Amino acid sequence: MNYSMDNGSVRWDDVMLLDWRFDGFPGRVLWVDLSQGTVEAKEIPHDWLIESMGGKGLATRLLVEWDTTDYDAAMNLKHPVLDRVDTARHPTNPLLFMTGPYQASTVGSSGRAVVVTRSPLTDVYIDTYIGGNIGHVLRQAGWDGLFITGASNHLCRLEIVDGHAQLHDATELAGMTTWQVEQTLEGKGECLSIGPAGEHGVRIASPLTAGRRAAGRGGTGAAFGFKNLKAVTVKSTSKEEVRFASEASLKSAVKIQRQEMGLRRRSGDPFYAFGTSRGPIYASENGRMPTANYSSTNAMIPKFSELKVSGGQGGVVASDGSPVTITTELDAHELSGEHWHESLPDAKQSACCAPCPIACEAADRPTIDGEKIRKRPIHLNRVDRPEYETLAMLGSNLGLTSSLDVMDGNDACNRLGIDTISGGAALSIVCELVEHGWLPEHWADHFHAPFDFGRYKQGDVVPWQFGIPELPPLALAMLANSQPGDDGLFSVLAAGAVAFSEYVEKTTGHPATRLTAHCKGLDLPAWDPRGKRGNAMAYMTANVGASHMRAGYKEPTGLPNSSAVDLMEELIESQNSIVIRDSMILCAFAKGATPDRVMLDAWNAITGDTASWDDLMHRASIQWNLARSWNVEHWDRLGKNPIETDLLSWRLRKEPIPAGVAAGMVSFVDDQDEKACMEKYYSLRGWDENGRP
């Protein structure tokens, strides 16, 4: 297959069904060269599929084996804000959208797909996951995934119907939100698109599907924007080509999973009622919820002048001195999904990612023009219940205390195509810089509202302050329509909070970088490592940087006032296990109801493999080291020592938490403990003392 750029539509008489080449795998990717305007099938060796396990593992293998990056040219690209290389922006940087063996199957909670590329935000490896049905449909159409390289000279879209694929001019979609794109392309199948943020190369942009499902982390929306790829639509007309080794064995494994999920629902598991939205209550009680730009972690905003970064004493253990003054107390319950449901009695749970019995999302069912909405509303403001990460990063992290207020920022991110985690981090650092008086002189401590919203009319002054409900949707609109490169506040902020802080520090001399919370340039999720022993090492050793979805511990580990050296073996085991989960691809929220034995039985039934769990863990370890090596090769090109890139940002290492159960805590006992944990981890992984595989 080899089709050129075309302005027409796929004709049904052109459509051809693709046979799956192997049990469990179509055995091919759609190779898209946007510079040439061509698409073609490229076959994948069977041993690669089995060894990599699909999904994340396969994407990593293809990224390394088929890397199309012209490094000589890419290393000459300069970052638009900072004096450093910008490899991810080069057209030859590959962008992969992949499925796993659980997609197109009946395994519960497998409505997933993964985006893998070099992150536009961090310039290192990123794998980020998206829900909805597009992963199922792409696999049913006969593709393991998409391998995209090059860049179009104008905005385009990719249309796939079974085995037929075409690139189309998409200039009519320019400037559209993700919702508008989905509405415009309705009828063409499942749709993945970027909003204005991705088009403008905003480094915290995300591609979305189904109105609210985002591949959130690492700025992969900008990767689509760099390539001028506005949207991908996928339609499958038949499931007949789907091929599993043993339908009966797969049915038996799925039956066990569904029984466990049903048991958990009937037992009143709060996750099955509130999803992750109950998180603010738990996280604040345990000193882990970001508050006012990670200056605190328990829904209490401190007096900034008393923090260590300002020259104050900072947080201390209660028995060791006077606590930091608290200026504002937020209500964690009001920020939670429980309060959201109490306030919106017509809201109901709904499933988005089929087949999924959990239904972890919920949406209000408002009455519009006298008619009550019955089904899950799509492309409608103020209906979706935000997830915990959003409630924290666009809520408490910005000094907001109501889950209802967070809905507006959440909607803005979904429409504009922005990661809610990094979006919250970007806005919050500006607010704290204003508190300290550290903004450059040529920037104001306010901006002008781009449109009427809430208490503000278009053109009104909106101050950069914590606690303003209208600030997120107004500021995010300004951010999404800014392009990194000039000297304006939003243009610099479009490069992300970390780059923004480096620019401010270089411009003013103030220690702005000490206000960031990140690892490897990836903004911290809504779980502060200063409140949990061992969490820091999970962030530091993840190939993507600070992600809460790459490791976990089986039991509570306590506060980091004692060493986590003893946890390093469990950490590696959990990381490898999650590689298996993310290669198959199973939703993280379903892992508790899907034991290792069930995952293994489903894998063997789908693929015909005869692997043991230990076999899969070994394959996962290889994938982990492969991604690490890919990063290390890049750091070598830049003259960076891997061990230094693994360190957390200053705030997480040196700024003690000011209040709550974790008062006085930092991420490790001390620098020697940090070093001991890193040495132990590197040794167990078989890496050298500098973290090289």
- Please say whether the beta carbons of 13 and 175 come within 8 A: no
26: preceding bond cis by omega (within 30 degrees): no
Residue 223 is inside which H or E element, if any? helix 220-226
Dihedral class, residue 209 (left if φ above 0, else alpha if ψ from -120 to 50, else beta): beta
> What pLDDT, on a 0 to 100 scale, did the predictor assign at position 359?
65
Return the residue matching tokens 């040219």: 73
Task: Answer yes or no: is pLDDT of 14 > 50.
Answer: no
pLDDT tens sequence across 501-512: 999 999 999 999
> Above 70 in pLDDT, residue 7?
no
Alpha-carbon distance of 163 to 146, in angstroms, equals: 13
What local confidence, expressed as pLDDT, does residue 198 receive?
A: 98
pLDDT score for 11:
39
| pLDDT at 240 > cutoff 90 | no
Q: Give the pLDDT of residue 322.
A: 82
Antiparallel, parallel or unpaired: β 145-149 and 28-33: parallel
Rounded Cα gap, residues 354 and 426, in angstroms:
33
Tell the CATH superfamily of the 12-235 domain.
Answer: Aldehyde ferredoxin oxidoreductase, N-terminal domain (3.60.9.10)
- Output helix, strand, coil percentages for the chain, rounded to the nearest 5: 40, 15, 45
3-state class of 94 per DSSP? coil
Whether domain 271-314+327-519 has CATH 1.10.569.10? yes
> What percentage of residues in the chain have a pLDDT greater than 90?
88
Q: Is 413 helix (H, G, I), strand (E, B) or coil?
A: helix
* Domains of the chain by residue range: 12-235, 271-314+327-519, 528-685
Residue 9 has pLDDT above 50, yes or no: no
Q: Are 620 and 57 in contact (CB under 8 A)?
A: yes
Report the pLDDT value the prediction gives residue 241, as an integer from 0 to 100: 86
Q: Cα–Cα distance between 607 and 101 in angstroms, integer?
A: 8
Q: What is the DSSP string of 301-357?
A: EE-GGGSGGGTS-----GGGSPPPPEEEE--HHHHSHHHHHHH-TT-EEE--SSS-S
The pLDDT of residue 5: 42
Mean pLDDT of 538-542: 98
Instruction: State mean pLDDT over 516-524.
Output: 98
pLDDT of residue 544: 98
CA distances from 124 to 436, 628, 646 (A): 31, 10, 12
Q: Is residue 199 over pLDDT 90?
A: yes
**pTM attached to this predicted model:** 0.96
Q: How confident is the model at residue 2 (pLDDT cuts 50, 70, 90)?
A: very low
**Model confidence at 417: pLDDT above 80:** yes
Work out the average pLDDT over 655-661: 96
Please provide the DSSP assignment of 29-66 as one string: EEEEETTTTEEEEEE--HHHHHHH-SHHHHHHHHHHHT
Separation in Å, CA 146 to CA 131, 232, 437? 16, 10, 47
The set of residues, in sequence order, having a beta carbon less than 8 Å from that of 53 and lying 6+ positions away, is 100, 101, 579, 580, 583, 584, 603, 616, 619, 620, 623
**Nearest in space to 428 (alpha carbons), one of 456, 405, 400:** 400
pLDDT tens track for 335-388: 999 999 999 999 988 766 777 777 678 899 988 888 888 888 889 999 999 999
Report how far residue 531's alpha carbon sits from residue 547's, in angstroms, rounded to the nearest whole number. 16
Q: Which residues pair with 209 in a beta bridge?
A: 192, 213
**Alpha-carbon gap, residue 299 to 467, rounded angstroms:** 12
Tell me the two tokens of residue 461: 């002054």
Residues in a beta bridge with 85: 78
Average pLDDT of 180-195? Answer: 98
> What is the pLDDT at residue 475?
98
Q: pLDDT grade, residue 125 (50/70/90)?
A: very high
**What is the dihedral sign for C-alpha 554, 108, 274, 389?**
positive
DSSP letter assigned to residue 79: P
Query: What does the block give as tokens for 251?
Result: 């049915």
pLDDT digits (tens, 9 = 90+) for 556-571: 999 999 999 999 999 9
pLDDT of 331 strictly over 60: yes
**Whole-Å CA distances, 575 to 497, 542, 578, 620:** 27, 8, 5, 8
Q: Which tokens is 301 given?
A: 């905003």
Owner of token pair 């930092």 = 666
* pLDDT for 1: 40
Average pLDDT on 268-282 reads 88
Sign (positive/negative) of CA torsion 475, 476, 482, 487? positive
**132: CB partners within 8 A, 6+ apart:** 111, 190, 209, 210, 213, 352, 353
Pick the CATH number of 528-685 from 3.40.50.970, 1.20.1290.10, 3.30.930.10, 1.10.599.10: 1.10.599.10
pLDDT at 13 over 60: no
User: Length of the chain in residues, anyone?
Assistant: 693
First to last CA, the chain: 39
406 or 361, which is more confident: 406
**pLDDT for the residue numbered 350:** 73
Q: Give the integer Cα–Cα distance in Å for 97 and 117.
A: 9
* CA 78, 79, 81, 83 torsion-angle sign: negative
User: Are the C-beta atoms of 17 and 180 separated by less than 8 Å?
Assistant: no
